A and B are shown apart, each in its own frame.
Chain A
């Protein structure tokens, strides 16, 4: 049975999750006075109330966008972690537009989100260009850019957008015309969810049914092969970086317009980095990323609810996340059982 690749992958996934949960429980045993309650809250509380389940979807939206943005880069074998900085900076772009008065409440969010996306795309082009032209290590440049964008963003907020009526980093309130409408009553799930679904479908078709997607996938699998085949890595890297930055930008904008009343991130939000986890868990597949984002959102929401009523902080979820990600992205985890099953089948015929 394990000889079947798909079944094997599913078993592997299941084993990784199980292992992660066992480890988490052991840690809970060590740090908590009520480990069982904490553990069951973490695992089951999102199912106990409709509103809690809504929280899962709400959290899943930005994680998915960050995950899609990163997955596209990883697919092309570009190890760029710049989505974090883009999320932060495009939040400021969003704040700048969303605080302006605008008469049309359909166009206001659309314009805000689009401009934010374009800003994200342009920002991503900076490390993208240097990678494409000079092979500059995009991991380092993108991380440096995160810190630079943070400083720059903070400066803009403080000197141009700072609200006068609140202390601490905050913009003025967004105009009501800019806010995204809630689409499922009883929750705060907003229309950004619909945008996400559209993006996933578009990305899926782009990746698996267009020439661009084909060249992205081939370049990611083997850059030498892509070059040999006549694909132009320079333009491809620019395109991919722009799309990724665009997804990060609209993700940030949608999160702010859907869930916040003003910009108030005083530190990097961490959503972009989590996107890297989503990409790895989802195997850089658009649908996989969304599933991963759902699972992680579920766990995070559960942990959050748990943290509110127990002595365990929400960061415990990092154990589950790290363990699952490490095992899922390892090629050889449980591999020997797969191989044994193959050998039992007697090996395929030698050609």
Chain B
């Protein structure tokens, strides 16, 4: 049994945490915006998977990862618009609609994968270009910090920027105020002339864009190809992180990193002789435990207020 501290307190572990947190944090940011507008975007997972697929395929077709990225984002917007159409216009329950879209994405990507590559497993044969890694000048030469923060995929830095941007959006702009207003009380928002459906659509599209960035990272950063169901629940982990952040973007970010750390831990432990079947469950056990603990706290708060 390796010494746990030895694993965790290496700068390389910090690097891995950042490497694995990307899809989770993008998903969490997206879910955070959607839930601020009062919608649980359950389709996060499917949107990510679709983007992971579209990104790498378009990158292969155009032999340009940036075009791949753009197409992936477009697919994210499209998925969100489909969800928007069904939940806002046709009044489908958003959870049911989300579940349907996830199942659809899961098999439809396999369908397209087969059409494009003739394989139902991965797109590795296509040799798609991935997004570049970036060494940060100066920072890369600082001992520990350089190891942790430099040399990541460009999407890692886009992720950090996204946290800041989402903060400004939600806390410092009229759009953010309106999104929150719609989420807290639709009727109140409507009474001052806010177009609720428009705000919700914007929120869902933004969450789709963020989800697609997380997805495209899976196939063009984390790995260099698409494989069946490769998001593997990360969208839902992001959803859990957003729920536990309780409408506070910093809490959402911290929770995502916490989950990322467990993911990284599983990665690190898998290198040792432990049964890998058990190790791979660590991140899921962590999320399960965290959301249970969180709900117990909430329950105690409700009890203290006499509500239960």
| Chain A residues packing against B (C-beta within 8 Å) | 31, 74, 79, 81, 130, 133-137, 139-141, 143-148, 150-152, 154-155, 158-159, 273-274, 276-277, 280, 313, 315-319, 321-322, 325-327, 329-333
Contact = CB atoms under 8 A, between A and B. Distances in A.
Nearest to A314: B111
B133 to A, nearest CB: 29
A148 B90 contact: no
Interface stretch (B135-143, B158-166, B277-285): B277-285
B111 A313 contact: yes
Given A329-B100, A332-B89, A134 B292 contact: yes
Contact of B277 (A140, A141, A155, A332): A155
B298 A135 contact: yes
B106, B111, B299: residue with the most chain A Cβ atoms closer than 10 Å: B111
Given A152-B281, A318-B108, 4 more contacts: A148-B281, A315-B110, A315-B111, A329-B100
Nearest to A140: B240
Contact of B292 (A141, A329, A331): A141
Contact of A140 (B107, B232, B236): B236
Contacts, number: 139
B131 to A, nearest CB: 27
B169 interface: no
A141 B288 contact: yes
B96 A140 contact: no
Contacts of A139: 42, 95, 236
A326 to B, nearest CB: 5
Contacts of B295: 130, 134-137
B159 to A, nearest CB: 22
A313 B288 contact: no
Contact of B100 (A146, A322, A332): A322
A281 to B, nearest CB: 10
Given A329-B100, A330-B86, A136 B108 contact: no
Interface in B89-117: 89-93, 95-97, 99-101, 103-104, 106-108, 110-111, 114-115
B287 interface: yes
A155 B100 contact: no
Nearest to A313: B114
Contacts of B104: 318-319, 321-322
A332 B99 CA distance: 19
Contact of A330 (B92, B95, B291): B92
B275 interface: yes
A135 B284 CA distance: 19
B125 to A, nearest CB: 16
A227 B231 CA distance: 39
Contacts of B120: 313, 315
B239 interface: yes
B296 A276 contact: no
Q: List the 9 closest A-B pairs by CB distance, nearest first.
A: A330-B90, A322-B104, A315-B111, A318-B107, A151-B281, A155-B277, A136-B295, A330-B92, A313-B114
A146 B233 CA distance: 10
A99 B52 CA distance: 41
B64 to A, nearest CB: 24
Contacts of A155: 275, 277-278
A122 to B, nearest CB: 16
Contacts of B210: none
Contacts of A319: 104, 108, 111
Contact of B284 (A136, A137, A144, A321): A144
A140 B92 CA distance: 20
Nearest to A151: B281
A140 B93 contact: no
B206 interface: no
A329 B298 contact: no
Given A144-B284, A326-B92, A158 B277 contact: yes
B243 interface: yes
Given A137-B295, A151-B277, A313-B114, A326 B287 contact: no
Contact of B278 (A133, A141, A151, A329): A151
A31 B112 CA distance: 9
A322 B108 contact: yes
Contacts of B296: 134
Contacts of B240: 137, 140, 144
Interface in B242-293: 243, 275, 277-281, 284-285, 287-288, 291-292
A130 B287 CA distance: 14
A332 B87 CA distance: 10
Contacts of A331: 90-92
Contacts of B114: 313, 315
A134 B91 CA distance: 29
